[in-house]
């Protein structure tokens, strides 16, 4: 059975979602983007996939914040993910839970772009503290986060495509597309 037609967005900033009936329970409906957004805003751990220079994937857990229509994460300039992003900005960020019968797993595809603007970095540093607490306080200087671990590059990933996997009764797979 082909995917269902897309549902209209509820606002100009909200993408339309399409339930893929090939991978969904007949009773399922497309997950609203607002539900997926709530997961992105509250999830504590994300998994970042980058591509190594030889084409092999590299996956690592990290923390991230949703702000201004994108996920943001940071990494040290000498870390493997930062090295990978120098050559290939394509990334996938995933989050969800390990339970099969409840929740919603999310996959966000996009390109990582460096954030170097000090006002934007200060706003993101505040967002990290609001979400993760004072142990995640960053300073800002010369286009990077600063802290006890040294400098950290900050990246923004605006979704190009996202997938939601509703788990439990009913199971459902929703795909959201975002304007380029």
Residue 11 has pLDDT above 50, yes or no: no
Residue 4 has pLDDT above 80, yes or no: no
Q: At residue 8, what are phi and psi to the nearest 5 degrees?
A: -70, 145
Who contacts 29 (Cβ-Cβ below 8 Å, separation ≥6)?
19, 172
What is the reported pTM? 0.91
| pLDDT value of residue 89 | 98
Residue 27's CB is within 10 A of a number of other CB atoms, namely: 9
- How far apart CA 136 and CA 21 sit, in angstroms, is 41
Taking only the tens place, the pLDDT of each residue in 168-178 is 989 999 999 99
Residue 85 has pLDDT above 70, yes or no: yes
| pLDDT value of residue 13 | 62
| pLDDT value of residue 56 | 97
């Amino acid at each position: 059975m082909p995917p269902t037609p897309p549902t209209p967005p509820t606002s100009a900033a909200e993408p339309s979602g399409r339930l893929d009936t090939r991978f969904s329970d007949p009773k399922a409906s497309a997950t609203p983007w607002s539900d997926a957004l709530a997961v992105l805003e509250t999830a504590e751990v994300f998994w970042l996939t980058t591509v190594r220079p030889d084409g092999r994937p590299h996956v690592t857990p990290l923390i991230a914040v949703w702000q201004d229509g994108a996920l943001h994460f940071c990494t040290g300039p000498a870390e493997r993910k930062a090295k990978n992003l120098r050559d290939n900005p394509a990334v996938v960020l995933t989050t969800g839970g390990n339970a099969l019968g409840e929740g919603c797993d999310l996959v966000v595809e996009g390109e990582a772009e460096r954030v170097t603007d000090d006002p934007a970095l200060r706003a993101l540093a505040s967002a990290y503290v609001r979400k993760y607490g004072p142990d995640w306080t960053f300073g800002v200087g010369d286009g990077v986060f600063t802290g006890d671990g040294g400098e950290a590059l900050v990246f923004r990933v605006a979704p190009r495509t996202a997938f939601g996997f509703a788990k439990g009764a009913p199971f459902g797979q929703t795909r959201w597309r975002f304007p380029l």
